Structure 1
Amino acid sequence: MAHELHPLDGSQTEKYFILRDYSINDKIAFTFPNSASELPVPLRSYYTQLKDITTQMETIYSSAEAASTATYCQGCIACLTGYILLWCINTQYEKYQHEAEVLLEKENISTFKGSQIHIRNPCNNGLRCIEVIYPKC
């Protein structure tokens, strides 16, 4: 997994973390604020967009970790071939991980570009949190 590098332009930025809720064991969930007033002031106007993106990320990563016949067969065949199969095809998890990367890239460009808000891929920090970077007021 590659790290995201951003140019240092001298502007001061702050970070807001949407933490993962580990109390739900069978799916990936993040603890999102109940109201916009719980967000930092620069992010309050983006409450619904951030909530929608968080919900989409939960859905994508829950689907990625879901067990299915296809993932079972893929694992068995990978073991039988000494994992050579995994060089040839992407796993279900990798496919969903790519879907999440595309979603975040699209949202960062279309929704947040003008406001200098950037959402980092939660896979970069082990799915512990969704990191939202925004300019300091």
Structure 2
Amino acid sequence: MATEFHNLQEMQHSTSLATKVYIQRDYSEGTVCRFQNKFPSELDNRIERTLLEETLKTLNAYYVEAEKIGGQSYLEGCLACATAYIIFLCMETRYEK
């Protein structure tokens, strides 16, 4: 197994070039968890527009799946109440999956 070594000054320089970019939530369909597909200007010439759109589409699809209400959701809620939420130490919730 090869170990990589990095020059600390080089790493500090590359992190100073990093810019934080925030993708806004989309509340057009109520409070459902989803992100806007608007391309942030900070990402111009850094990432392809289609790549960001596909990534956001994938994330939004995961959130749609997690928000679905079904038998598993009801069971999670009932078990959580019955065990004073201790059950979540033993199992993953739909959002964690």
Q: What TM-score comes out, normalization by structure 1 length? A: 0.52
Q: Choose which of 34, 43, 47 in structure 2 pairs with 1:29.
A: 34
Alignment match, 1:41 = 44
- The whole-number CA distance in structure 2 between the counterparts of 1:49 and 1:29 is 17
Q: 1:21, CA displacement in angstroms?
A: 1.2
Q: Choose which of 55, 64, 67 in structure 2 pairs with 1:62.
A: 64
Per-residue CA deviations over 1:35-93 (Å, capped at 9, x if unaligned) read x7x744323x5111111000001111222122211111121122112222221111111
Q: 1:26, CA displacement in angstroms?
A: 5.4
Q: Which amino acid aligns with 1:23?
A: S
Q: Which amino acid aligns with 1:55?
A: K
Alignment match, 1:72 = 74
Q: Which amino acid aligns with 1:42?
A: N
The CA RMSD over aligned residues, in Å, is 2.4
Percent of aligned positions with the same letter in both sequences? 31
- The whole-number CA distance in structure 1 between the counterparts of 2:93 and 2:19 is 35
Q: 1:23, CA displacement in angstroms?
A: 2.2
Q: Which amino acid aligns with 2:51?
A: Q
Unaligned 5+ residue runs, structure 2? 1-7
Aligned length: 85
Unaligned 5+ residue runs, structure 1? 1-6, 96-137
Q: Which amino acid aligns with 1:65?
A: E
> Which one has the largest radius of gyration?
2
Which gives a bigger RCO, structure 1 or 2 (Cα 8 Å, sep 6+)?
Answer: 1
The verdict on how the C-alpha distance between 1:82 and 1:14 changes in structure 2, with shifts beyond 3 A counting, is closer
